[in-house]
């Protein structure tokens, strides 16, 4: 009987530990797997042999429950992209040797684009070298929702729910004074506007905003922006605007960057402010009412206290399926979601060839952005809405959500 | 039978509408009050006679329930501080005339320092001029927790719960990579560090941070800061630091300000970044590991989806007591909380003379800060902990918290 190894990679999310819980649960309840190991800090942990035994954790329903609700990457993460095996074959040989040493028959890698590239490279290397007793499966994860071959990505729904709720609360906050004001909310997404589009769901609450939404898929014109905001202020005393951090001008330069380029601080460092602060300046200068900017920052990816129930369920299912597929002998594939219908919301789970996922970035279709470029169309709302449904019961202890974590190699809860 | 007028003033919080709900509920269930009016945008709404009839709202349990859970100021707010009556007696005469025109016998003002100053001035003016048939009562509100004569302030507990939870989640997020890093979290509080101190409650979860806490009550030394961070990095791969936005240097200048003073952007505006960005620069320059800063911004005052149950209950009780006291004939007082014990947590409600509250700012006692100035003592934790206890059931609709709001003078829910 073989052992199973699981690892996490890329940016943290509120749902990646739910996928991990799914992997551990499925591997533990199955009599085809002996031990379940977790590699600390992704593929780096494999190279350094920093493994942790998760078999006991898989037998504790209470701990799995906590793990599902713990934000960020329980096993730690890395940003290590393997070079092609022709460039560093020694490393590939080392990795395979370590996996064999621990009798690993199944390696599940939970992550985004780069992580799927790792699964692709390792599985391809093994295929070429006739190593057939280690199966490599990917499970998707990214708040950016930019993976190909899946309707949407685990972690995105929870981030979208945080964004929709928070934007809705900021709208309430922005309306208290009886004077014109503009609030600019900067949302994550360097190259894709999926998360920024999720701000539109705040309208499901009170339909008081956001009035303008700018995604990074369309080039941004500051003059058009100024005119958009002025028009919105004619109809609304308070205008709330959602913008992608990755907004670019017509030449493809990041807005924040062009703002930064000319300015250095006392230490010679570049100005650190992003697109929100940049547009705050533009609006302050050209419009003249009260303007402020808010950056949702890392909270949008780690606010597990307001995770989407649908998201956590799907994330877990994709983890379970990755184990199931590996046990069935699949390798070099990623688990994925296919949407069957919006209303009622129905999906099916499947696996897809990893080479169709690795290194590909799925952006928002341009037809889902209004021709004016300052809003999204209803089809996008219909796509987004099911993903934020349902609330997760959070275990509070002393007034704070309880989590599961690793401290000095030991699994603890508090 | 007289009518009752209620208004809200100052910065929004997650609990001020719970106080409003308490006022409306108590006034409606009481047969001594005829109509309940709300003034839009605080005292400005009185001057402009923009009143809304809240009597029907008071009869709907469902709407009161939603109101309690709606963030920011339902009736709108203002930042209008009345001058002394000797300087603008005409305005005082106008206000009293308007109150008489609407047959107002009780005026309840929910707010912070400045709002209590308004209650003080109006009640004093009436006393001096023998106008005894209008009673003025204040109900406290401020996330800053800086009001005198009350153990703590409504709104503070919910902001503290948001901060403790969010800091705890950011700590999980900050630990995923296996490399040294520093995360600086900027928390509201220009002159008082109560909210920043609440970050200490994140330790109740996993005791992994924050490692350093700097309140604005103690002067801040950047060299000491650098040495503190270096020391913390010797023991922890990831260091999370909570700082008050109002940190000042030994000369009493705001840190952010001194950073800004020399720098202007392309438009000649001052650098907008706050103390978090400033310290991010200091740390990047002097320590050299990965450094980032996070500003909790307005989310800390409007995140009603994670309100403290204790806070909302107390806020409501203080609103109810304000009405009760006014009906009993009290005027020129504020409702307040006196703590009886920490464990079990017990309080009693009372009223205090408003002149002892108006314009006074209650800062953190220096003995609650460690001699080193980079943490708080356990007594502070014991004070804070009861205030974030209990979770509020939030009504979700389509995946987003439902709220009650006024649109074009009409009360709507969605």
CB-CB under 8 Å, B76 with A177: yes
Could you give the CA distance from residue B403 to residue A382 in angstroms, rounded to a whole number?
22
Q: What pLDDT score was predicted for residue B225?
A: 97
Check pLDDT > 70 for residue B75: yes
Q: What pLDDT score was predicted for residue A67?
A: 97
Per the annotation, the verdict on A144 as an active-site residue is: yes
Q: What pLDDT score was predicted for residue B164?
A: 98
CB-CB under 8 Å, A297 with B72: no
Could you give the CA distance from residue B301 to residue B225 in angstroms, rounded to a whole number?
28
pLDDT in tens, A26-69: 999 988 999 999 999 999 999 999 999 999 999 999 999 999 99
> Which whole-number Å values give the CA distances from B55 to A110, B21, B51, B114, in the listed order?
56, 11, 12, 27
Q: What pLDDT score was predicted for residue B206?
A: 77
Whether the complex's predicted ipTM is more than 0.85 is answered with yes
- Residue B245's φ and ψ, nearest 5 degrees, are -60, -25
Residues of A in contact with B161 (CB under 8 A): 399-400
Give B46→chain A minimum CA distance, Å: 13
pLDDT in tens, A80-118: 999 999 999 999 999 999 999 999 999 999 999 889 999
Cβ count near A261 (within 10 Å)? 12
Write the residue in A72, A297, A397 that is nearest to B175 by C-beta: A72
Could you give the CA distance from residue A193 to residue A144 in angstroms, rounded to a whole number?
8
Write the residue in B206, B281, B400 that is nearest to A201 by C-beta: B400
Tokens standing for B264? Answer: 């202007």
CB-CB under 8 Å, A263 with B266: yes
Could you give the CA distance from residue A386 to residue A34 in angstroms, rounded to a whole number?
37
Could you give the CA distance from residue B283 to residue B226 in angstroms, rounded to a whole number?
7
Range ranked top by mean pLDDT from A92-106, B276-290, B352-366: A92-106
Strands B400-401 and B396-397, how do they pair? Answer: antiparallel
The one catalytic residue in A114, A144, A146, A311 is A144
Residues of A in contact with B402 (CB under 8 A): 205
Find residue A240's DSSP bridge partners: A183
- When pLDDT is averaged across residues A172-177 and rounded to a whole number, the result is 95
Write the residue in A165, A208, A399 that is nearest to B161 by C-beta: A399
pLDDT in tens, A334-347: 999 999 999 999 99
Q: What pLDDT score was predicted for residue A410?
A: 86
Q: What pLDDT score was predicted for residue B265?
A: 42
Give B329→chain A minimum CA distance, Å: 31
CB-CB under 8 Å, B398 with A305: no
Confidence of residue B259 (pLDDT cuts 50, 70, 90): low
Please state whether the predicted TM-score (pTM) of the whole model is above 0.90: yes
CB-CB under 8 Å, B299 with A299: yes
- When pLDDT is averaged across residues B249-265 and rounded to a whole number, the result is 68
Question: What average pLDDT is seen over chain A?
Answer: 94
A273: nearest CA in chain B? Answer: B273
Could you give the CA distance from residue A133 to residue B385 in angstroms, rounded to a whole number?
54
Q: Write the DSSP symbol of residue A306.
A: G
Check pLDDT > 90 for residue A205: no
Residues of A in contact with B208 (CB under 8 A): 405, 407
Contact A6/A39 with Cβ under 8 angstroms? yes
B262: nearest CA in chain A? Answer: A266
- Answer with the residue of higher pLDDT: A74 or B410: A74
Cβ count near B362 (within 10 Å)? 18
CA-wise closest residue to B138 among B361, B312, B302, B358: B358
Tokens standing for B211? Answer: 């490692």
Q: What pLDDT score was predicted for residue A271?
A: 47
Q: In chain A, pLDDT over 90 holds for what percent of residues?
A: 89
Provide the b/e sequence for A325-342 (b: ≥16 CB within 10 Å): bbbeebbbbbbbbeeeee
């Amino acid at each position: 009987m073989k052992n199973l190894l699981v690892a996490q990679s890329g940016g943290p999310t509120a749902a990646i530990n739910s996928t991990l819980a799914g992997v551990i649960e499925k591997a533990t309840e199955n009599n085809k797997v002996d031990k379940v190991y977790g590699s600390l800090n992704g593929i780096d942990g494999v190279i350094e042999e920093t493994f942790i035994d998760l078999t006991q954790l898989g037998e504790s329903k209470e701990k799995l429950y906590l793990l599902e609700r713990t934000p960020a990457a329980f096993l730690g993460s890395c940003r290590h992209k393997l070079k092609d095996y022709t460039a560093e074959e020694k490393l590939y040989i080392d990795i395979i040797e370590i996996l064999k040493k621990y009798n690993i028959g199944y390696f599940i890698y939970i992550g985004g684009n780069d992580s799927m590239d790792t699964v692709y490279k390792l599985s391809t290397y093994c295929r070429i070298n006739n190593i057939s007793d280690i199966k490599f499966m990917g499970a998707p994860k990214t708040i950016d929702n930019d993976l190909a071959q899946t309707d949407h990505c685990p972690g995105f729904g929870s981030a979208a729910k945080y964004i929709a709720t928070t934007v809705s609360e900021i709208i309430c906050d922005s309306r208290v004074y009886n004077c014109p004001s503009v609030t600019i909310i900067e949302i994550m997404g360097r190259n894709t506007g999926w998360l920024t589009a999720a701000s539109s769901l705040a309208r499901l609450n009170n339909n008081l905003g956001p009035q303008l939404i700018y995604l990074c898929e369309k080039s941004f014109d500051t003059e058009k922006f100024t005119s958009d905001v002025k028009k919105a202020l004619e109809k609304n005393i308070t205008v709330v605007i959602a913008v992608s951090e990755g907004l670019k001008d017509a030449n493809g330069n990041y807005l924040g960057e062009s703002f930064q380029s000319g300015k250095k601080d006392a230490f010679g460092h570049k100005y650190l402010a992003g697109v929100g602060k940049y547009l705050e300046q533009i609006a302050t200068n050209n419009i003249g009412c009260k303007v402020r900017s808010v950056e949702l920052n890392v909270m949008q990816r780690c606010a597990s206290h307001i995770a989407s129930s649908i998201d956590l369920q799907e994330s877990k299912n994709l983890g379970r399926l990755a184990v199931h597929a590996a046990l069935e002998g699949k390798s070099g594939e990623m688990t994925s979601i296919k949407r069957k219908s919006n209303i009622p919301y129905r999906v099916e789970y499947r696996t897809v060839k990893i080479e169709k996922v690795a290194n590909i970035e799925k952006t928002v279709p341009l037809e889902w952005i209004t021709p004016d470029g300052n809003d999204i169309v209803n089809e996008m709302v219909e796509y987004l809405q099911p993903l934020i449904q349902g609330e997760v019961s959070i275990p509070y202890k002393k007034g704070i959500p309880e989590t599961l974590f690793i401290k000095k190699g030991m699994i603890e809860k508090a």
